[in-house]
């Protein structure tokens, strides 16, 4: 389980992650922040705020940077891992090989994949009896900071429930922290629907400055209130619309939740 923080969801990207990734990209290009700001026509102070993890870039700026560095946006907004470096090295080395040697790499990799699938099938057959009477729900464990939730690009985990009456939902994720107790508990799975009416007291997932929060949400004329049901946490107030240098987005409405069964 990830570190438990006030109402945050899963293992999300944040300003510190962006700062580390941006520094890594600049080092790869052999650029300093001043040179980068001139090339991109960004304010130097803005770039320094990103690199010091003081602020988080807006979506359009992240898009421009990903194009300049020639990388997917996830390489800027998600936590960098050694596995991604390993995969990148495999691809780069394979590109340098002549075709007969590339065929050998492909043959070996295919054999490894077949072996892996056999091992996975054994695990599935062992667990099938335990989960035959349960409803399986696939949850997103990690989301792209600043871009909301996207299927197909994130690590996923399956949780199980005895319930058979779950409503229609677009995706699910796991609550971390106790700010919504006694309604939502740490480790509960929440079901999220991306279509919703203007928030007026319902439970929503809000992506704010690179971190996703589950809160009771109300919107007034010039502010959005993120309310924690647990009284030991203070409300958060976000400007409507977002002020310059800030970013927030209502990802979706929580339509149901459950405490997963232990398998």
Q: Give a yes or no: residue 59 inside a domain.
A: yes
Q: Give a yes or no: residue 100 inside a domain.
A: no
> Pick the residue with more confidence: 199 or 128?
199
CB 261 within 8 A of CB 222: no
> Pick the residue with more confidence: 186 or 151?
186
d(CA 169, CA 7): 20
Q: Give a yes or no: residue 201 inside a domain.
A: yes
pLDDT at 81: 64
- Same domain, yes or no: 159 and 225: yes
Is the pLDDT at 84 greater than 80? The verdict is no
Is the pLDDT at 168 greater than 80? The verdict is yes
CATH, residue 142: 2.10.109.10
- Same domain, yes or no: 75 and 184: no
pLDDT tier at 88, thresholds 50, 70, 90: low
CB 178 within 8 A of CB 160: no
Q: Give a yes or no: residue 237 inside a domain.
A: yes
CATH, residue 43: 1.10.260.40
Query: String of b and e for 86-105 (b: at least 16 CB within 10 Å)?
Result: eeeeeeeeeeeeeeeeeeee
- Same domain, yes or no: 159 and 67: no
- Same domain, yes or no: 76 and 144: no
Length of the chain: 263
Which residue range(s) make up the domain with 215? 135-258
- Same domain, yes or no: 63 and 169: no
Is the pLDDT at 197 greater than 90? The verdict is no
pLDDT at 260: 92
Q: What dihedral do alpha carbons 238, 240, 173, 181 form, nearest 10°?
A: 40
- Same domain, yes or no: 72 and 170: no
Domain boundary among 84, 109, 127: 84
> Pick the residue with more confidence: 2 or 254?
254
**Number of domains the chain contains:** 2
- Same domain, yes or no: 140 and 26: no
Residue pLDDT, tens place only, 32-67: 999 999 999 999 999 998 988 888 898 889 989 989
- Same domain, yes or no: 250 and 149: yes
Residue pLDDT, tens place only, 207-257: 877 678 889 999 888 888 989 888 888 888 988 887 777 778 888 899 999
Q: Give a yes or no: residue 223 inside a domain.
A: yes
């Amino acid at each position: 389980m990830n570190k438990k923080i006030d109402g945050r969801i899963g293992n999300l990207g944040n300003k510190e992650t962006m700062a580390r990734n941006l520094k890594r990209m600049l080092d790869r290009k052999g650029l300093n922040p001043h040179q980068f700001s001139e090339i991109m026509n960004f304010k130097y102070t803005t770039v320094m705020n990103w690199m010091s993890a003081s602020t988080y870039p807006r979506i359009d700026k992240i898009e421009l940077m990903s194009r300049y560095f020639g990388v997917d946006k996830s390489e800027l907004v998600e936590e960098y891992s050694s596995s991604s470096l390993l995969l990148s090295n495999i691809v780069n080395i394979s590109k340098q090989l002549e075709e007969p040697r590339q065929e050998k790499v492909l043959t070996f990799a295919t054999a490894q994949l077949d072996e892996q699938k056999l091992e996975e099938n054994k695990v599935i057959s062992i667990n099938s009896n335990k989960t035959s009477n349960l409803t399986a729900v696939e949850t997103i464990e990690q989301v792209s900071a600043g871009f909301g939730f996207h299927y197909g690009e994130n690590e996923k985990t399956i949780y199980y429930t005895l319930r058979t009456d779950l409503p229609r939902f677009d995706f699910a994720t796991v609550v971390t922290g106790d700010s919504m107790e006694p309604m939502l508990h740490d480790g509960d799975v929440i079901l999220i629907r991306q279509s919703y009416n203007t928030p007026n007291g319902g439970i929503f997932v809000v992506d704010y400055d690179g971190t996703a929060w589950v809160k009771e949400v109300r919107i007034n004329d010039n502010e959005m209130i993120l309310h924690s049901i647990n009284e030991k946490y203070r409300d958060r107030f976000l400007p409507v619309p977002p002020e310059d240098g800030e970013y927030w987005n209502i990802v979706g409405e929580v339509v149901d939740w459950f405490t997963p069964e232990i398998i």
